[in-house]
């Protein structure tokens, strides 16, 4: 049978075209994989949290000073510390930028905490969690990358940090528990933690912008009187949560559920 050059040349030409298209697709695909995600490139600014401790409408400046709750009770703080992790910023278009790998230990005397680099743009809200993610909550307190915030006996359940993890929120002080709110304040101790109480806080909307190489602060109020929402203060045992086991009881659950209400914009 005589050869049919045209037929084979057409098939060969088609194969070459297919190989060329495949090669181009591979090049474009490989290039896309190598390019950083949009939120990871471009100009950035620095985002910081500025956290003010309050009781009602009064800012707490020192331990041991009596303030008044919104309902009129005398209240003072003797100790307050909490972990904050998983900070996220919500853009005005609804997309979310997560600031990864940052956990901080908030105490009364320090107000400002640098969170990290954030892409330039317009934002409308802040999200974070009170506590530590399970991957950090299970670490030894001398783990190099986190020892500065974990090696704090005040945030342990006992004499050692393991195996029960860390106390996420440790608030101690005094509050008037009387019906008429006219008696001397009595001590309370609330230690909230465990992986079940890694509490999400979603702030409302308040627009702000991140500008290139600028420092932008998220100013938040932390009202410690909100921890007592719905708590019957003159009931026996209502002022003490000290162990991981007590976190599973009704009082521990209630206090943990009150944590998001503590936070408002300044």
DSSP string, the chain: ----HHHHHHHHHHHHHHHHHHHHHHHHHHHHHHSPPGGGSS-EEEEEEEEEEEETTEE--STT--EE-TTS-EEEEEEEEEEEEEEEEEETTS-EEE-TT-EEEEESS--EEEEEEEESEEEEEEEEEES--HHHHTS-TT-TTTHHHH--GGGBSSSS-TTT-BEEEEEEEEE---TTS-S--EEEEEEEESGGG-EEEE-----EEE-TT-EEEEEEEEEGGGGGTT--TTSTTTTEE-STGGGGSHHHHHHHHHGGGGEEE-
104-126: pLDDT as tens digits: 999 999 999 999 999 999 999 99
Residues 193 and 252 grouped into a single domain = yes
Q: Which residue has the tokens 């109480």?
A: 197
Residues 70 and 168 grouped into a single domain = yes
Residues 16 and 90 grouped into a single domain = no
Nearest to 82 by CA among 31, 29, 130: 130
pLDDT score of 162: 78
pLDDT score of 20: 42
Distance in angstroms (rounded) separating the CA atoms of residues 233 and 190: 13
Residues 207 and 147 grouped into a single domain = yes
Instruction: Tell me the pLDDT of the chain averaged across its residues.
Output: 88
More confident residue, 5 or 128: 128
Residues 9 and 88 grouped into a single domain = no
pLDDT score of 40: 58
Is residue 71 over pLDDT 80?
yes
**What are the φ/ψ torsions at residue 31 (nearest 5 degrees)?**
-65, -45
- Give residue 22's domain range: 1-35
Distance in angstroms (rounded) separating the CA atoms of residues 50 and 107: 12
In sequence order, the 6+-apart residues with CB closer than 8 A to the CB of 245 are: none
Distance in angstroms (rounded) separating the CA atoms of residues 165 and 245: 12
pLDDT above 70: percentage of residues in the chain: 85
pTM: 0.84
Could you give the number of structural domains in the chain? Answer: 2
Q: Mean pLDDT over residues 151-174, rounded?
A: 94
Residues 115 and 220 grouped into a single domain = yes
16-50: pLDDT as tens digits: 444 444 444 333 333 333 333 444 569 999 999 99
More confident residue, 240 or 31: 240
Q: Mean pLDDT over residues 161-165, rounded?
A: 84
Residues 30 and 56 grouped into a single domain = no
Flag the least confident range among 9-18, 115-124, 199-208.
9-18
Q: How confident is the model at residue 95 (pLDDT cuts 50, 70, 90)?
A: very high
pLDDT score of 33: 31
Residues 241 and 152 grouped into a single domain = yes
State how far Cα 43 lies from the chain centre.
24
Residues 19 and 112 grouped into a single domain = no
Beta-bridge partners for 129: 85, 200
Residues 147 and 224 grouped into a single domain = yes
């Amino acid at each position: 049978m005589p050869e049919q050059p045209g037929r084979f040349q057409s098939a060969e030409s088609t194969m070459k075209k297919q190989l060329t298209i495949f090669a181009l697709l591979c090049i474009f695909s490989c290039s896309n994989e190598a390019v950083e995600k949009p939120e990871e490139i471009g100009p950035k600014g620095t985002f910081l949290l500025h956290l003010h401790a309050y009781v009602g409408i009064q800012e707490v400046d020192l331990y041991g000073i009596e303030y008044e709750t919104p309902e009129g009770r005398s209240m003072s703080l003797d100790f307050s510390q909490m972990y904050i992790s998983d900070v996220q910023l919500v853009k005005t278009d609804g997309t979310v930028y997560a600031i990864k790998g940052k956990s901080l230990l908030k105490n009364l005397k320090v107000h400002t905490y640098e969170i990290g680099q954030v892409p330039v743009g317009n934002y409308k809200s802040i999200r974070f969690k009170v506590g530590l993610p399970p991957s950090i909550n299970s670490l030894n307190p001398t783990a190099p990358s986190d020892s500065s915030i974990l090696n704090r006996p005040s945030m342990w359940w006992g004499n050692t940090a393991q195996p029960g993890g860390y106390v996420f929120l440790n608030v101690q002080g005094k509050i008037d528990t009387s019906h008429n709110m006219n008696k001397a304040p009595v001590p309370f101790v609330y230690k909230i933690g465990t992986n079940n109480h890694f509490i999400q806080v979603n702030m409302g909307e308040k627009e702000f912008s991140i500008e290139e190489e600028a420092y932008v602060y998220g100013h938040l109020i932390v009202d410690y009187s909100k921890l007592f929402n719905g708590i019957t203060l003159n009931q026996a045992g209502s002022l003490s949560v000290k162990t991981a086991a007590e976190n599973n009881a009704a009082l521990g659950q209630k206090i943990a559920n009150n944590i998001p209400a503590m936070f408002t914009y300044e």
